[in-house]
Structure 1
Amino acid sequence: MTEIISYFSSIPSSHRSLILVGGITLFWLIENAFPLFNFNYKKWHHAGINIFLTLTTIVINFLLAFILLQTANWTITNQFGILQWLPQMPLWLYTLVGLLLLDLIGAYLVHLIEHKTKILWRFHLIHHTDTWIDTTSANRHHPGESVIRFAFTTLGVLIVGSPMWMVFLYQTLSVIASQFNHANISIPEKWDTVLSYFIVSPNMHKVHHHYKLPYTDSNYGNIFSIWDRLFGTFMALPKEKIIYGVDTHMKIEEHNQLKNLLKIPFQKRYDKKIIKL
């Protein structure tokens, strides 16, 4: 455990980039060999849009990283935050509690709020317009949403009182988890079900990308599945019934053109339709 802390305390930016690129490459190869769905689409065009949006997220996080660093340092210096107020515990448990809480605020909570708040939904909508979910879809976020998610991550660091090494560890796990649960990979259903009791599995997250309510408003988690089960937002749907996208933007010119995707939050309001199955 001390080796992990030492590594993430000073992880080079090049290593973080390698993890991001390596994850996309690995899961892309796996999903090509064992696809969950056989898409009829221009994969490189689709990947180009998603990778561009991933790069904007990287740039925004890089430019704002000093805020995260200052926040983490302040919590440790001033002994502020949940982790600082808890009694002493084994290092592995301290790390697990911290990661769970960061995932709750930085992933589950912000995701839930984005779905329930109209103005935030208009930015998050870009992620849901993807009708061909694969590993490149993981960071298909509008630049505006990247700022929103960064703000919640910072809030999480402040409330949790997590040291910077834990933040780097959390972000690394978050990237890998998101690439994994978005990947178009076929996993035996029993394995996926077992995984879904601990982490967000591919089939579990694919339900969230079904184009109709109420499934769109379910399975908000990213790393840990406990929060959806605890707060009653977990839902299941046979993979054969899943249709990707969002019912307000099913036309290809709406969801497969970068220029239009960037404009969506500022266009006519597209609130989610409530369509009964």
Structure 2
Amino acid sequence: MDSIIDYFSHIPSSHRGLILAGGIAFFWLLESLKPMLRFDYSKWQHAGINIFFTLTTIVVNFALAFVLLMTAAWVTTNHFGILSLMPETNIWVSSLLGLLLLDFIGAYLAHLSEHKIKLLWRFHLIHHTDTWIDTTSANRHHPGESVWRFLFTVMATFIVGAPMWMVFMYQSLSVVFSQFNHANIALPPALDKALSWFLVTPDMHKVHHHYMLPYTDSNYGNIFSVWDRIFGTFRYLQRGHVVYGVDTHMETAENNSLSNLLRIPFQKSRDARKNQS
């Protein structure tokens, strides 16, 4: 564990970039060789839009990185946060607990808030408009949403009392898991179901991308699935029954146009999302 802590304590920016780019490349190749669904789309044009949003997310995170660094340094120096209140325990146990809590606040609660607060939904909607979910969809976030998610990461770091190495490890895992569970791949059903008791799997997350309620408002987790199970937001839908997108923006002219996607948060709200029993 010491070597892992040392690595993430000094992880170069180039390595973090490699994790992001390498993950996209790996899952892109995998889904190209054996896709779960064969989409009738231009894979490169679709990727271009989603990679644009990936780049804006990088810019937002880079511009605000000093806030996260200062927060992690302060909680470490002042022994503040949940981890500092825990009794001395095995480093593996405390690391797992830290990752679970960072994922709960930084991913699950951030995601839940975007579905429950109308203003935030306007920005998060861009992610759900994608009707061709593949690994590039993972970072299809409007810049406004990227700021909100960053603030939740800072809040998670503060509440948990996570040192910077743990935050970097969490962010690296979060990137890879997001690419994994959005990728257009299919695990053997039994394996996917077994893993989904603890981790977010492709089948589990793709239910969240079903175009109608109540499935859209479910399965908010990113790394760990336990939060959805604990708080009753877990739902299951068979692979063949999932239809990607969101019912208010199913037209290709709207959901596959970069200029329109950037404007969606400022357009007239379409709140009457259909319900499905």
Q: TM-score, normalised by structure 1?
A: 0.99
Matched AA of 1:248: T
Matched AA of 2:63: L
Describe the SS at the equivalent of 1:232. coil
1:268 corresponding residue in structure 2: 268
* Structure 1 residue 269: Cα displacement: 1.0
1:3 corresponding residue in structure 2: 3
* Structure 1 residue 160: Cα displacement: 0.2
Matched AA of 2:79: Q
1:45 corresponding residue in structure 2: 45
Matched AA of 1:48: G
Describe the SS at the equivalent of 1:216. coil
2:109 corresponding residue in structure 1: 109
Tell me if structure 2 keeps the 8 A contact 1:23–1:176.
Answer: yes
2:218 corresponding residue in structure 1: 218
Tell me if structure 1 keeps the 8 A contact 2:247–2:274.
Answer: no
Structure 1 unaligned residues grouped into runs of 5+: none
CA distance in 1, matches of 2:5, 2:123: 35
Describe the SS at the equivalent of 2:64. helix
Tell me if structure 2 keeps the 8 A contact 1:122–1:270.
Answer: no
CA distance in 2, matches of 1:272, 1:170: 36
CA RMSD of aligned residues (A): 0.7
The within-5 A match list for 1:211-250 is 211-250=211-250
CA distance in 1, matches of 2:33, 2:230: 35
Identity %: 67
* Structure 1 residue 276: Cα displacement: 2.4
CA distance in 2, matches of 1:251, 1:98: 42
Matched AA of 2:157: V
CA distance in 1, matches of 2:36, 2:108: 25
Tell me if structure 1 keeps the 8 A contact 2:207–2:235.
Answer: yes
1:32-86, Cα deviation, whole Å (9 max, x unpaired)? 1121111000110000000000000001101100000000011111111000111
Tell me if structure 2 keeps the 8 A contact 1:142–1:262.
Answer: yes
May I ask how many residue pairs the two structures share in their alignment? Answer: 277
The within-5 A match list for 1:69-88 is 69-88=69-88
Q: Does 1:178 align with 2:178?
A: yes
Matched AA of 2:209: H
Q: Does 1:98 align with 2:86?
A: no
2:123 corresponding residue in structure 1: 123
2:198 corresponding residue in structure 1: 198
1:215-258, Cα deviation, whole Å (9 max, x unpaired)? 00000000000000000000000110100000000000110000
Tell me if structure 2 keeps the 8 A contact 1:213–1:274.
Answer: yes
Instruction: Tell me which stretches of 4 or more aligned residues in structure 1 moved more than 4 Å.
Output: none
Describe the SS at the equivalent of 1:132. coil
* Structure 1 residue 272: Cα displacement: 5.0
CA distance in 2, matches of 1:261, 1:32: 26
1:15 corresponding residue in structure 2: 15
1:111-157, Cα deviation, whole Å (9 max, x unpaired)? 00100000000000000000000000000000000000000000000
CA distance in 1, matches of 2:250, 2:172: 32
Structure 2 unaligned residues grouped into runs of 5+: none
Q: Does 1:189 align with 2:189?
A: yes
Q: Does 1:142 align with 2:138?
A: no
CA distance in 2, matches of 1:34, 1:204: 19
Describe the SS at the equivalent of 2:68. helix
Matched AA of 2:148: I
2:132 corresponding residue in structure 1: 132
* Structure 1 residue 271: Cα displacement: 2.0
2:259 corresponding residue in structure 1: 259
Matched AA of 1:106: G
2:28 corresponding residue in structure 1: 28
CA distance in 2, matches of 1:66, 1:120: 24
